[in-house]
Amino acid sequence: MVKKEDLIISKHAGDKMLIEGISEEQICRALERGSKFTQTEGYLAVHTYFSVAYKMIGKKYKIKTVYLNR
């Protein structure tokens, strides 16, 4: 189970969360339940109407950005 304490949110991702209206709880759900794809530097979790780009640092999730799927 992914908890808010497991997230390291970059400034860019935090700004995008405010703009797009995506909460930390939603990010945790996307990391748990979303479809995951490998990217050049990390992973992409796609869940419902948004996506989360992240990479793993130990057992923490470094959130690079979030965006709405349009």
The CATH number linked to 33 is 3.30.2310.20
**DSSP codes, 4-28:** GGGEEE-HHHHHHHHHHT--HHHHH
pTM score of the predicted model: 0.95
> ∠ CA(69), CA(31), CA(18), 5° rounding?
55
| Number of domains within the chain | 1
pLDDT digits (tens, 9 = 90+) for 7-57: 999 999 999 999 999 999 999 999 999 999 999 999 999 999 999 999 999
Q: Domain containing 31: what range?
A: 4-68
- The tokens of 61 are what? 């999730």
Q: What is the pLDDT of residue 14?
A: 98
Q: What is the pLDDT of residue 24?
A: 98
